[in-house]
Structure 1
């Protein structure tokens, strides 16, 4: 294996550090560590406050000095949008100047359009991982050159299919979890829901399903939408439903190991579902809605899926899922969700595009 020099572009919005803001940040952190463990040199370009153990270079997210006339313009976007735009613009201009002397490959794990739109200005291969369904900004960036020079991967076959009309050759490289860290546990009597507390993740539906099944539920994760949490989640807490806060990986793994099952309740088409992989690695079966890529990860031996949004159907499945063999859940994680598989696939792709 040849040691590669990798520029790993991450989110400028959230630091790559624990407790993670979401699955994208957790994935980027895990991938960076796995690549370094394999002997690669990784320079992570990430938001301020990222894990210093990764040797992250902070993306220059700072206020842009705009004139009063520019700020008053009717087309002026939000200040946060401008700061992100400025950060990625500066980074891509820097990589265009001398990126080929410093790196063998640039791997874009951000959701921003500029690393794709400006890839043709670089003299080093660029890989972009598609972590979401199609977005207008990214679709526009892909179509900017006559032939987009970027090599694309997708985090699931479902996501690759969603992008297929515009990116027909996206290679599926599924996100993975460190199965040495996420260790199996004995289970327990209750359920766990984890993730960002936002409408598209549906934690309020998880509470209703658990309550209908008569099983206690704990919820863990960042309150990323305070108005939604206050209006839809907080009023449902109590009576067996407890919000335990935004906790780090160690705390989350402990909760998963002592839970009978994990609930996953997306109200959107989940591009992958890292929380599913984390649960399976802890030998915890999964009960959820059949949205997006969840059906790719789960088998009937380790999880069951209800029709999207059908709370009663989900509640009816919960007792069955709680009786599933925990060994089957762990085996599925080792076979399908291991971070080693993800890192090996990316290493092979780095060598391919840089050769």
Structure 2
């Protein structure tokens, strides 16, 4: 099978466009482009406002207008939850009607449960990538089938292990980055931190570690939690710590390529860590907390890890990481983190399940 027709389901909450809302959106954008370059026919179902170059089909996210009586009901979820639910419901009903005539495979790259819960209604194979630790809605969707018909992949061995009780045979297909775009640079004297500014990413811990090490730090990323930013991050800025905004890929690549090292400070079990791969591809070694899948990506030649949450230990590692060979970091990205490897693995899986 030289070409596969793929329905790639993305987020209904954030558009797949730059500057990306997070690693999931960046990964989906890159994967769609990589599959298309390999000659596959990719229809991306994504939030309104997604990159026109992808030819995305907008998920039917409709504004919900509820009565006062409905809003006052004790079971009232958030409006965003309702809108997202109905968007995926409409998509899955549409794919159930005529998906077999349009696609060879449906690849659910979203975090939503309905593509899993409704997979048995489709007459086309469904693949779901597990991007997060277990969640109640997705776990329950898997268990809604006597035998779940979905083929699962996981973005790391750590994530596959976390899901093992309900998904015992998830295949590991690690996320990848375009190493032709993320190019090595000369480094610099400052540290970099990138990602969504939310508590689970721990940027406040990165600031404290950098300050303890006496090295300036630049932080980049979307402020996804305003309250957290105002209360925990903004008060720490200054004195060598600078927030440089929500950068597009070009700006972020420039920042990483001219940094001495990248700090990665998860306060949760990081399922993969796309920011690690991006830094390595820019030749920038990584200093972080040993949580989740970070230890799968890093080797002692390109990064060092401190115990989770231990700011003092992280600060002590920073001078050592800044001395690591930038060439080793780049080589690790090429061998282990390339988008080409990811796209090849998914191509093999598509061809297998679509037979």
TM-score of the two chains, using structure 2 as the length reference: 0.99
Q: How far off is 1:74 after superposition? A: 1.6
Does residue 145 in structure 1 map to residue 145 in structure 2? yes
Structure 2 portions without partners, runs of 5+: none
Provide, for residues 86-121 of structure 1, a one-character-per-residue CA deviation record: whole Å limited to 9, x for no partner.
Answer: 100000000000000000000001000000000000
In 1, Cα distance between equivalents of 2:66 and 2:237: 45
Matches within 5 A, 1:145-224: 145-224=145-224
Q: Deviations over 1:240-274 (max 9, x none)?
A: 00000001000000010000000000000000000
For residues 71 and 186 of structure 1, what CA distance do their matches in structure 2 show?
Answer: 56
Listed as ranges, the matches of 1:34-183 within 5 Å are 34-66=34-66, 68-183=68-183
**Matched position secondary structure for 1:127:** strand
SS at match of 1:288: strand
Q: Retained in 2: the 8 A contact 1:64–1:86?
A: no
Tell me the distance in 1 between the aligned counterparts of 2:295 and 2:209: 19
Counterparts of 2:76 and 2:243, CA distance in 1: 38
Counterpart of 1:326?
326
Q: CA deviation at 1:145?
A: 1.0
- How many residues are matched? 355
Separation (CA, whole Å) in 1 of partners of 2:31 and 2:148:
25
TM-align CA RMSD: 0.8
Give the match for residue 22 of structure 2. 22
Secondary structure of the residue that 1:43 maps to in structure 2? strand
- Distance in 2 of aligned mates of 1:315 and 1:69: 54
Distance 1:192 1:158 in 2: 25
Q: CA offsets, 1:109-162, max 9 Å, x none? A: 100000000000000000000000000000000000100000000000000000
| Structure 2 SS opposite 1:245 | coil
Stretches of structure 1 that go unaligned for 5 or more consecutive residues are none
Distance 1:66 1:309 in 2: 43
- 1:307 aligned partner: 307
Partner-residue secondary structure (3-state), 2:3:
coil
The answer for the alignment partner of 1:10 in structure 2 is 10
Structure 1 residue matching 2:345: 3-state secondary structure? helix
The CA deviation at 1:2 is: 1.3
Asked if the contact 1:203–1:233 (Cα under 8 Å) also holds between the matched residues in 2, the reply is yes
Match of 1:186, SS state, is: coil
Residues of 2 paired with 1:231 and 1:245: CA distance?
Answer: 17
Q: What's the counterpart of residue 284 of structure 2?
A: 284
SS at the partner of 1:6? strand
Shift of 1:64: 3.3
Asked if structure 2 preserves the Cα contact closer than 8 Å seen for 1:106 and 1:125, the reply is yes
Contact 1:271–1:292 under 8 Å retained in 2: yes
* TM-score, scaled to structure 1: 0.99
For residues 350 and 18 of structure 1, the distance between their equivalents in structure 2, rounded to whole angstroms, comes to: 27
